[in-house]
Each structure stands twice: as structure tokens, then as C-alpha cells.
Structure 1
Amino acid sequence: MQQAIAVLDSGVGGLTVVKEVMRQLPHEKVIYFGDTARSPYGPRPPIEVRHFTRQIVDYLLQFNPKMIVIACNTATAVAIEDIRARVSIPVVGVISPGARAAIKMTRSGMIGVIGTDGTIRSQAYESALKQISPDIQVYSEACPLLAPFVERGLFSTESAHTIVEQSLNSLKEKPIDCLILGCTHYPFLMDSISRVMGPEVNLISSAEETARDISTILSQRGMQSQSYEMPIHQFFCSGAPPVFRQIAESWLKEYIPFMPVVWQVPTII
């Protein structure tokens, strides 16, 4: 049986990473878990996010994955080292890849970061950016309304643009040339964010760089899939399967030739 890459998120946001993994690594199987019953993670205390992340990882380990991808910025910020200490397989997060992508892109050294309350409060992006380039100027803004809006499947509506405009109002005035989308839900709102911030601000999603990290680790460790058949991916969520299915099909249909199978998994408490 083909070993899978296990991807987890607080909800549907990690599908943005899955989409890029499927594009770059089309022969790798993905098992995805979205904790839709307990989303969003941003307002929750770090100890609770770590607890939830452990539970999901324990659930995913039954499938014997070869790698775990924490495709949630909040969980990456507060739980990745804990998970790395608990498992023997590679664990990849989304913050370091996003920071590297922004460093490559910026010309002025002025970088904006938007994320959940938990991610911004952790200062994980500022730390990752300054570790690479200490002179970088970072402007951070918590946008707690955006991820719940995506979870409800409303990211293509005009209301989404209004919420984005309200959330980014103060950041528009900052002298940034790059904006890190520090929540994997935010690429669903890419068009609205781009309209608000203007063409002079490059938007950075960690998904592409994270997929490159995954590819590099698999290659270095000789863990790439040897199958030339298209894999059968698996999707799990902890609540509201119809909404999850609708969003997953809408986002991934260009990259997968089948209808995602979503199981109703009992909420893990």
C-alpha cells in the first residue's frame, strides 16, 4: 500500500496546501483531516491548540503516513515542536516556508503579515523572518473574521470583499511591498485581498514553498512515491461534511479526477 502524506488543518484552509502538493507531486497520496467542528483555532489558547493537534496526529497515525504536514499557521506556531518530539516521521509546518518566500520576494525589506489572533500573538512569522534577515521590518495584523468566513463557504461573495476591506484597513497604509497570508484559509480570499492591497503589494501564500519543502524532504530521504498511477486521496473532517465537501470540490476539482470522499468522524473531545 502506498504511504501517504498526512495533512491537517483547523478546517478547510489546509486544502490550499493540498492543492499545491497535488500540482507539484501528482503521484503522492494525501490523507487530509480538517477539524471543522472546532474551527477556528486562532482565538483558542495555545495549550488547547496543542491538545487538538496531538489528537488529530494520533488519529492520522493509524494510516501509517510517511510525513505529517501541519497546514495550519496557528497549530504550526504553537505545536510543531511538540509533534516533532512525539513522532518518528518528518513533520513540516507552513510558517518557515512562508517567511522564506517573502524574503525572496521583497525589494524594500518591508513585509506585512496577516493571520489569526493566535498566529499574530505568537510572533512566529516575525521571528522566522528576522532569523533569516534581521533588518526586515514586519507589520502584523490579526484578521479574526476571515477564516470563519471561508469556513462557511462565503469566500466568493461580495460580502467577502467587504470583510477583507475592513480587516486590512490599517495595513493598507503601511509601506509594505509583500504581504504574507499567514493563515492557510486566506488564499481562498486572494482576489479580494489583492483588490484591497493593490498591485504594488505581492501576496505570499506559503502553499507553494511548503510543497517544495515536502518534495525536498521526500527526495533527500528516498521516500518519494514509486507508483505511476494516480493516487486515491482521502479526506476527513470532524463536522459538517456537506459544507466541507462543497468547498473541497470547488477548490480541488481542477487537480483531482474524482469526488472527494468525506467521512463523518466523531468530534474528538
Structure 2
Amino acid sequence: MTTEHLDAGTVRIVVTDSGLGGLSVLAELERQLNEIHIFQNAELIFFNAVYSKDLGYNEMKSSEEKASIFNKALYVMEENYNPDIILIACNTLSVVYPMTQFSEQSETEVKGIVEAGVELFLERLRGEKNSSIILFGTPTTIDSGLHKSLLVENGIDEHRIINQSCPMLESEIQDDPKSEKVYDLIQRFVSEADKRGVNKNEKIYAGFCCTHYGYSSDIFMRVMRSEFGGNVKILNPNNRMVESLMKENIETYKDSTISVEVVSQVEIYEHEKQALSKILKSNAPLTVAAIENYKHKPGLFKK
């Protein structure tokens, strides 16, 4: 996206996710826009694309069902907000997006986070030849094999890549990113990855393929070091997604105005708001305020 087609430096960006992990991308977008005034006016909208608390995308039975529901959410984003760009700050939905009718018919620019993640992972794996990567993600993301196939297509030996599915981890992190349950799940998934043949004599990267996981990065690091030793590093694509967007725009303004809105069909519980606000408050006060005062809109989009 460039500023050439925007009216007087005004932009409206919708960030969407199948939950609240993408709020970290929204927060980083706010932070960077405050530092580099590439727009005079930036309207940031977070659209929670979860259909119901009882039916997450990773619990749906088929790819067709996931695509159908996300497709309806995308059209509501377009119709209600007329965005200049939609950022899919969710690996699960980025995998689902090409299956939607919206991807074929809409002229709205859409960017998924998978590309940002693969770019980051490639950069590090190419820079450190004696290294391997564990790709941690939801069942939908890992079962698609998309990250691994893109890495292999770009010259990374498949034996350096371990896919590790983490069922329900994103849900537990959203409930409480520092809980014992989250710690136990991370310990379990790291141990499962180890059994797949991690080479402990070389550098090991933990590639986050879910935007929620950054909220629990300290637990991941603790468990990884316990399992593999000190030569480990976490790769979180959330910030890279924002950096890629910022690099596309070179014009700057003396001042800028930023507004932030959070919209959700499902209720965001008080303990979820408090946990996320505690993590994001230092860098993104507008995002935190928008979380606290989010717009709860039951029936926002249909199944």
C-alpha cells in the first residue's frame, strides 16, 4: 500500500484475527505510526473475526466451513469500514483466506501474516547455516504445511524444519498468558518437538506461527532453554508484519492523528482485557483504551 491513492494522507486500516492475538499487531502499528508520521490521519480498527466463543476456527470440522465464516466477516469489514487495507494478523485466517470468495472478488488490498513470518524465518535460517527451526502453530496452520513448504521452496533443507501443532494453546493464552495451564501446554509441545529429532548441537529457533504466542514468549523461552540449552531464540513475526507495511510508505508529515477502535461479535471478558492491557499498555495507550471500551456487536456477521 502506498500513500499515492490516499486522500491527503488519510488511511483506514482494519486488523483482523480469529481471537485477540492480533491486538499485538494493532499495538505495534500504533507505536510505529506515532514514531514515523507516514499518514496525517490513521484510523485503526481491530475486527475480531471469531464467530462465537463455542466455535473457534480450529474447532470447525472443515476448511469449507472456516472459509465460509471468514468470508462473511471479510465482507462485513469491507461494507462497514471501507478500509484501504486489511491486515490478517492471524496465521490460521491467512491460511484460510485464499479459499474465500472475497479473495477472488474484492478489490480491497489484503495482507496476511504468513508472508511476514516466512520472510523473517528465511532471513535467520540463511544467516545461521547451523540452525534449525520449530514452527509452533495452531492445528489449522501447521496441518496446512504452508510455512514449511514456502521455506523449502526458498532453499531451506526440510530436515532443518520441525512442524509442531499446539491444539488449544491460543485459547489458553487468551484466557491468561501467564497461567500454569499455558506453561504446561508449552512444556508438552516443546517436548513433542524434541522427540521429532531436534539437533541440540546447533542453534534452535522457535518460529511463532500464531499471533497469540508472543504474549507468552517468556514462558516459551524458559521452557526452550530447559529443553535445549541456551542456544535458542524466538522469532515472532508480529512486528515484521507492521515493518513491512511501514516500508511501503515513504512520505512523512510533521504531525499525525491516530484513532483506534476494537470491534467484536463475541464478548471480550474482563480478565482478558486486563491481561492484554497489562502487556500492551507501555507502548500502545490508544489500543489499551480501545480494548477497555471495545464495541460489543452481537450479530455483526452471520454463520
Indicate the structure (1 or 2) with the bigger Cα radius of gyration: 2
| Aligned equivalent of 1:133 | 155
Match of 2:269 among 221, 242, 246: 242
Equivalent residues of 1:119, 1:182 under 8 A apart? yes
DSSP 3-state at the match of 1:232:
strand
The yes-or-no answer on 1:75 pairing with 2:93 is yes
| Match 1:20 to one of 14, 28, 34 | 28
1:40 to 45, 49, 56: 56
Q: CA deviation at 1:255?
A: 2.5
- Alpha-carbon distance, 1:190 to partner: 0.5
Q: Which residue of structure 1 lines up, in the alignment, with residue 183 of structure 2?
A: 161
Q: SS where residue 11 of structure 2 aligns?
A: coil
Deviation at residue 264 of structure 1 after TM alignment = 1.1
Residue 245 of structure 1 deviates from its aligned partner by 3.2
> Are residues 229 and 159 of structure 1, via their aligned partners in 2, closer, same or farther at CA, if it must alter by over 3 Å?
same
1:26-70 deviation digits (Å, cap 9, x = unpaired): 354310011342563223222122122222221221212111011
Instruction: Report the RMSD for the aligned CA atoms in angstroms.
Output: 2.3
Q: Partners of 1:262 and 1:95 in 2: how far apart?
A: 27
The answer to whether the 8 Å contact 2:24/2:238 transfers is yes
* Among 136, 139, 153, the residue aligned to 1:117: 139
How many residues in Structure 1 have an aligned counterpart in Structure 2?
Answer: 264
Does structure 1 residue 211 correspond to structure 2 residue 211?
no
Which one of 196, 199, 203 corresponds to residue 223 of structure 2?
196
CA contact (8 A) 1:42 1:119 kept: no
- Paired with 2:191 and 2:29, the residues of 1 have a C-alpha distance of 32
Aligned partner of residue 119 in structure 1, secondary structure: helix
Instruction: Give unmatched runs, 5+ long, in structure 2.
Output: 1-6
Shift of 1:7: 0.6
Counterpart for residue 63 of structure 1:
81
Partner of 2:113 in structure 1? 94
Measured in 1, the distance between the counterparts of 2:242 and 2:23 equals 12
Structure (1/2) with the larger helix percentage: 2
Fraction of identical pairs, as percent: 22
Report matched runs for 1:167-182 at 5 Å.
167-173=189-195, 174-175=198-199, 177-182=204-209
The equivalent residue for 2:4 is none
**Matching residue of 2:3:** none
TM-score (norm 1): 0.88
